[in-house]
Amino acid sequence: MRSPSKHLGAALALLLLAGAMPVRGDASGDALDAALAKARAALAKGDGIAAEAPLRSAVRSGAAADTVRAELGEALLLQGDRREARKLLYGGDFISESAAHGWHLRGRLELAEGRLPEAGRAFDQALRLDGNNATLWIDIARLRFSGGEQAQAIDAADRAVQLNPKDPRALELRGLLIREQFGLFAALPWFEAGLQVAPNDVGLLSEYAATLGDMGQYRAMLVVCRKLTSVDPGNVRALYLQAVLAARAGQTTLARKILQQTGTALRDVPAVVLLNGILEYRAGNGNLAVGHFNRLVRMQPDNLQARMLFVRALSRQGLNAEAVEAAGLWVKQGFAPPYLLASTGQAYLAIGRKVEGAAMLARADDLGERPAQPIPPAQSLGALAISYADAPNFAGNAVPYLRGLISAGEGPRAKSVADRLRLANPGAVDAWLLSADTRMALGDRLGALDMYGRAAMIRFNLPTLLRIDHAMRALGRPADANAMVARYLRQNPGNPQALKLLAYGRTAVSDDVGAARIEAVLQARALRNPS
């Protein structure tokens, strides 16, 4: 008979050995490794369903949940099941080998649900564990862009490309940011570089096609769209782009037929709502057009184009009182476009308010320059000040307060508020634009132009161009303004707003021939794309 001490020694030895081994539950190490390998291969292909099955099987066989938590969470995210992914990703710890990936996935989940601070904290933890992961830097760039930190997003995307120059997602994102920063033409090489690495990549094909379309290269766009549909049959982005192309060619019936094939997938995309409204209006389905434009105005109350179309569609249906109501305070602003004034003026006449209608039509006929003015705030200045004091560095509070201050003639205070917001958000282009706008309101045109220029270094889009153009012309530099518009058009060829701006600029410097040529281009385009 063996002594108790020997039994005790054997038991201690087993405990020590067990403590030195990784905890895998009752599943064998080889079986778990095989399940993880199979799941990771499926995840690399973006197949969450195929990845989930072996991981669930491993857990049922006794594998500890922590050993598969990150991979199973990723599988659920790929399937769009964020609720179950949250339960799993936050339901325990990650083993050391997958901790960085697990925190990365937590950040991705939070980003998908719009919880930007939580996403930032999770990405920071992942970064501490693995700072050289290109995919992580891609998501950090997306987070920063979503938070309005465009400059920091550019830095993060650059880092991702440096870490993995052949990563399709890194190249796609860099192309998107280049498109925002410099324009359409500059973005093309990035999408083309990505397609050399991954010629059948759906994301790259989609953005490449969209960029070509925005440049007016419709035949090239159609070729890419056809490639996209062959790779991903029924791709809704490809269908939408083809519907846009048909609409621009005046083929309303074809455009409606193509757009209907997208089902409800793009139902809440503002551009799609706009296109639906235009197509229904062209087809004579006034009530449907009114519904689409009404919905778009509710989604984007400050979208002046949507409001003009809404007023026009209501008037066409004989709903003139509703058209006047839809025009609201916008038609009373000094910057109200002639089209909105004319449509609303006709609606006033139709409901018997002749004096107001005639005054509005007279304003529509006045072709003089309309200076930029702030959008009037919906609340009192006192209420806006209380909200601003709660979170002065938050744009959602600062911008309405700025509008209120400028409307109340409190320019110096508005400048102080705008500058504080800019200093708190130095990578946000809108913060620079706000600082510049307040300077323009105070008559500091040089200071405003400097800030507009800094904003353009981050994001040279149409709103930034319009402000630079206005500031340069106010400073008596029309030739410089025309050169800036021409530079924008080199990157964004065919942009109608920029072409109109350049036509006006040519007239301002007595280049009537140049202005006439631009107007001819715009007229030809209008004939090809009837509204």
Q: Which amino acid is at 178?
A: I
Same domain as 386, residue 358: no
* Structural domain boundaries, residue 408: 371-462
Is 416 within the bounds of a domain? yes
pLDDT > 90 in the chain, percent: 71
Is 377 within the bounds of a domain? yes
Same domain as 71, residue 123: yes
Q: What is the pLDDT of residue 26?
A: 47
Structure tokens at 128: 């501490």
Mean pLDDT of the 397-410 span: 84
30 compared with 459, residue with greater pLDDT: 459
Q: What is the pLDDT of residues 234-291, one digit of tens each?
A: 899 999 999 999 998 889 999 999 999 999 999 999 999 999 999 999 999 999 999 9
Same domain as 355, residue 299: yes
Same domain as 325, residue 308: yes
Closest by Cα among 25, 33, 26, 71 to 52: 71
Domain limit, last residue, from 95, 113, 131: 131
Domain limit, last residue, from 131, 148, 179: 131
Is 381 within the bounds of a domain? yes
Mean pLDDT of the 486-514 span: 90
Whether the per-residue pLDDT at 115 is higher than 90: the answer is yes
**Structurally, how many domains does the chain consist of?**
4
Other C-beta atoms lying within 10 Å of the C-beta of residue 362? 11
Same domain as 389, residue 340: no
pLDDT > 70 in the chain, percent: 91
Is 195 within the bounds of a domain? no
> What CATH number is given to the structural domain containing 52?
1.25.40.10
The pLDDT-based confidence of 401 (bands split at 50, 70, 90) is confident
Whether the per-residue pLDDT at 21 is higher than 80: the answer is no
Is 382 within the bounds of a domain? yes
Same domain as 375, residue 313: no
387 compared with 479, residue with greater pLDDT: 479
Whether the per-residue pLDDT at 166 is higher than 80: the answer is yes
CB-side exposure of 278: number of CA atoms within 13 Å? 22
Distance CA 455, CA 91 (A): 43
Q: Which residues are CB-neighbours of 414 under 8 A, at least 6 positions away?
A: 402, 405, 406, 438, 441
Same domain as 348, residue 386: no
Same domain as 422, residue 351: no
pTM of the model: 0.82
Same domain as 385, residue 358: no
Closest by Cα among 60, 68, 115, 113 to 91: 68
Q: What is the pLDDT of residue 76?
A: 95
The pLDDT-based confidence of 116 (bands split at 50, 70, 90) is very high
Q: What is the pLDDT of residues 438-496, one digit of tens each?
A: 999 899 999 999 999 999 999 999 999 999 999 999 999 999 999 999 999 999 988 88
Is 447 within the bounds of a domain? yes
Q: Which segment of 72-76, 302-306, 524-528 scores lowest on mean pLDDT?
A: 524-528
Domain limit, last residue, from 427, 462, 497: 462
Is 136 within the bounds of a domain? no
50 compared with 389, residue with greater pLDDT: 50
Is 167 within the bounds of a domain? no
Same domain as 295, residue 341: yes
Q: What is the pLDDT of residues 329-368, one digit of tens each?
A: 888 877 788 889 999 999 999 999 999 999 999 998 875 5
Mean pLDDT of the 497-504 span: 90
Q: What is the pLDDT of residues 69-114, one digit of tens each?
A: 999 999 999 999 999 999 999 999 999 999 999 999 999 999 999 9
C-alpha 169, offset from chain centre? 16
Q: What is the pLDDT of residue 444?
A: 95
What burial letters (b/e) apply to 212-249, b meaning 16+ CB within 10 Å? bbbbebbeebbebbebbbeebeebbbbbbbbbbbbbbe
C-alpha 526, offset from chain centre? 28
CB-side exposure of 378: number of CA atoms within 13 Å? 4
